[in-house]
Amino acid sequence: MQPVTTQPAVRVASTCLREPVLAANSLASQLSHSYLGYVLFFCSAEYDLERLGPALQQVFPSVRLSGCTSAGEITARGYDRGCITAIGFDSRFFAIDCALIREMDRFSLLDAQNVIDGLLTNCRNARLAPIKGNTFAITLLDGLSSREELVLATLNAALGSIPQFGGSAGDDERLSNTYVFHDGLFHAGAATVMLVNTPLDFRVFSSHHMTEGKEKLVVTRACSDSRTVYELNAEPAADAYARAVGVSTDELDRTVFALRPLGVKVGGHYFVRSIQCVNPDKSLTFYCAVETGIVMTSMDPQSLLDSVREQLEISENIVGTPLITIGCDCFLRRLEAEITGKSEEVSVFLRQHKVVGFNSYGEQFNGMHINQTFTGVVIGQPDTGSL
């Protein structure tokens, strides 16, 4: 039975104060209460992270925190920038534990099983709800590590039927350093996996708004470790891509990448592979896995909101009025919204559906690393009378 309480099962906070101690105090004043059990946050990389970490630990001395740097934040106002957004979970409704994965390139199935077994044990010990059907995982990964696929596939095998979503940490499009936060410190080259057990109804989802185009490009030379494609259709990758999307090679930039990504068909469905940059040798570096021999298809954008709206409406029909939606929204989707003048429309939509989260360098869904998607979880309200 869900406990009777006058506190909401989650609280949401944000601050644009840049001084770390003041920012941490602002979040604490908005989130702190006697049953606060866990805090998940997303912050701009513009903060002094060496000072922010200890400041957060000081104001939440007995509460675990997880988080990462972002390429934009989603607050109660919708799209935001240069701030911190945070979610506080009530321990009477959520049993949460988190683990740090330090060496992503050496993460084995045995490591994953040990990590998940430990998290499951701690969640079971809270005795809030059975694990099956009442548990989901949130993963946050270094967005510049190029190791997301390895970690996610391994974790997915260990999670079994437990649904998972997440996002890759950003750094405000600097493409320099991205971090995940665990136990008071920001870590590069690392990942966190957060297990959430709750008696509340929820639904994990993923959505993208791209459809299949006409152009097919075969990767004829690539380096999978660096996610770099040197040749498409046996010619310099940048030249082949530019011609496929109808621009000159000199015109390739972040706007073209956002509006005209490539996709790979897996199991009958297309998954977007977004381009990070053009290199001096006309190779293309991607945000997601690429390898020699795969066929890439040009993708055409449709309505930015229709597919997300459909997923959220399905979710809300299942769980009822949302308590909160935690969302990982690709930063290239946000860029598209800005280019097309849709930012305010998207922000209104995010507010209406109580979305809090961040703009990511890649999204994660049930063991897959994908681009230009919106992934997340819709969590329903406690029963009437328990609030």
What average pLDDT does range 354-366 have in this prediction?
95
Instruction: Measure the CA–CA gap between 94 and 288, rounded to whole angstroms.
Output: 32
Q: Indicate whether 200 and 260 sit together in one domain.
A: no
| Cβ-contact 202, 380 below 8 angstroms | yes
Name 248's Cβ contacts closer than 8 Å, sequence gap at least 6: 242
User: In the chain, how many domains are there?
Assistant: 2
Q: Indicate whether 135 and 191 sit together in one domain.
A: yes
DSSP track, 80-116: E-SSEEEEEEETTT-EEEEEEE--GGG--HHHHHHHH
What average pLDDT does range 286-315 have in this prediction?
92
Q: Indicate whether 278 and 347 sit together in one domain.
A: no
Domain range for 254: 210-301
Name 62's Cβ contacts closer than 8 Å, sequence gap at least 6: none
* Residue 385 within a domain: no
Instruction: Measure the CA–CA gap between 21 and 59, rounded to whole angstroms.
Output: 9
pLDDT for residue 1 is more than 80: no
Helices (DSSP H) in 215-342: which residue ranges? 237-245, 254-259, 306-319, 331-339
Judged by average pLDDT, the poorest of 77-86, 99-108, 189-198, 371-380 is 99-108
Helix axes 343-352, 331-339, angle to 10 degrees: 130
Instruction: Measure the CA–CA gap between 229 and 222, rounded to whole angstroms.
Output: 4
What average pLDDT does range 201-229 have in this prediction?
93
Among the three residues 301, 317, 344, which one is the final residue of a domain in this structure?
301
pLDDT confidence bin for 6, thresholds 50/70/90: low
pLDDT confidence bin for 266, thresholds 50/70/90: confident
User: Mind listing the pLDDT tens digit for each residue in 140-177?
Assistant: 999 787 788 889 999 999 999 999 999 999 999 888 89
What average pLDDT does range 257-263 have in this prediction?
92
* Residue 289 within a domain: yes
pLDDT confidence bin for 109, thresholds 50/70/90: very high
pLDDT confidence bin for 385, thresholds 50/70/90: low
pLDDT value, residue 384 = 63
pTM for the complete prediction? 0.91
Q: Indicate whether 234 and 323 sit together in one domain.
A: no
What average pLDDT does range 67-94 have in this prediction?
97
pLDDT for residue 374 is more than 90: yes
| Cβ-contact 252, 278 below 8 angstroms | yes
Q: Indicate whether 249 and 165 sit together in one domain.
A: no
* Residue 1 within a domain: no
pLDDT value, residue 387 = 42
* Residue 148 within a domain: yes
Q: Indicate whether 90 and 198 sit together in one domain.
A: yes
Name 178's Cβ contacts closer than 8 Å, sequence gap at least 6: 45, 68, 69, 142, 143, 144, 145, 168, 169, 170, 171, 188, 361
Q: What is the four-CA torsion angle of 139, 386, 76, 17, rounded to 10 degrees? A: -80
Instruction: Measure the CA–CA gap between 219 and 293, rounded to whole angstroms.
Output: 5
What average pLDDT does range 66-89 have in this prediction?
97
Percent of the chain at pLDDT exceeding 70: 97
